[in-house]
Amino acid sequence: MQVAGQLYILSAPSGCGKTTILRQVMVNIPGLAFSVSHTTRQPRDGEENGVAYHFVTKEAFTEMRDENRFIEWAEVHGNYYGTSRQAVADQLQNGQDVFLDIDVQGAAIISEDSSFDPVSIFVAPPSLAELERRLRGRGTDSDETIALRLQNAAKEMAAASQYQFLVINDGLDDAVLVMQSIIIARRSRTNRLPDGTAIILETDK
């Protein structure tokens, strides 16, 4: 019997190292995947449909949007991006644990959508001062952009208590340990086992 996967909602202010943490967690434990979004942008060379994205026409996208088939969607540089309920449901049904990387507003919407029973995780920097130091260290953003990012980060962090878990990235190894612990613990819940204790006695039958 296949147990359906767990949906994880992840949010983090820009520069918190969320993606770096997740990549390492995915190396450490199997059965994890990012959600596959729909997009109207053109596939780049080598991009296979259904892997990084589901590529659709603008017409198909707006139809799905109007039918409320996206958990969340956005327009970026003239292209549409959206997370379809069905795509996430398919991945979960496939037994994968799915990460949904989403902003604070989107996370609030999904948390209320009980059909997914998501686990929500907020990744935070140890402090705003440290976040500023990291953003400056990247050397990619103007002072103005950094100021804006910090302002947004402060706003987002005010919503952290609405998440179930908080991972403070005060060092990659520790943050990875906490993130993977949340996943491993979740997989060990008795209510995620097929048919109660049957699994224990499987080999005795």
5 Ramachandran zone, left/alpha/beta (phi>0; psi -120 to 50): beta
Using CB under 8 A as the binding rule, the residues of this chain from 127 to 146 that contact a copy of itself are 127-130
163 touches a copy of itself by CB under 8 A: yes
Quick check: 181 binds a copy of itself (CB under 8 A)?
yes
| Of 1-9, 56-64, 99-107, 164-172: span binding a copy of itself (CB under 8 A) | 164-172
Binding span for a copy of itself by CB under 8 A among 64-72, 105-113, 136-144, 194-202: 194-202
Q: Measured from the CB atom, is 108 or 166 closer to a copy of itself?
A: 166
Among residues 41, 65, 134, 186, which is the contact residue for a copy of itself, using CB under 8 A? 186
Non-local CB neighbours of 177 within 8 Å, separated by 6+ positions: none
Q: Rounded to whole angstroms, how far apart are CA atoms 145 and 9?
A: 26
22-38 burial code (b ≥16 CB/10 A, e <16): bebbbeeeeebebbbbb
Provide the phi-psi class of 157: left if phi over 0, else alpha when psi is between -120 and 50, else beta. alpha
CB atoms within 10 A of CB 43: 13
Query: Helix crossing, 128-138 with 143-157: angle to 10°?
Result: 150
Binding-site string for a copy of itself from residue 66 to residue 105, where x marks contact by CB under 8 A and - marks none? ----------------------------------------
Residue 200 engages a copy of itself in binding (rule: CB under 8 A): yes
Q: Which stretch binds a copy of itself (CB under 8 A): 40-48, 56-64, 73-81, 179-187?
A: 179-187
- Answer yes or no whether residue 30 interacts with a copy of itself by CB under 8 A: no
Contacts by residues 48-55 (CB-CB < 8 Å, ≥ 24 positions apart) = 54/84, 54/87
How many residues form the binding site for a copy of itself (CB under 8 A)?
Answer: 41
Phi-psi category of 188—alpha, beta or left, where left has phi over 0 and alpha has psi -120 to 50? alpha
Residues that bind a copy of itself (CB under 8 A): 122, 124-130, 157-158, 160-168, 177-178, 180-186, 188-191, 193, 196-197, 199-204
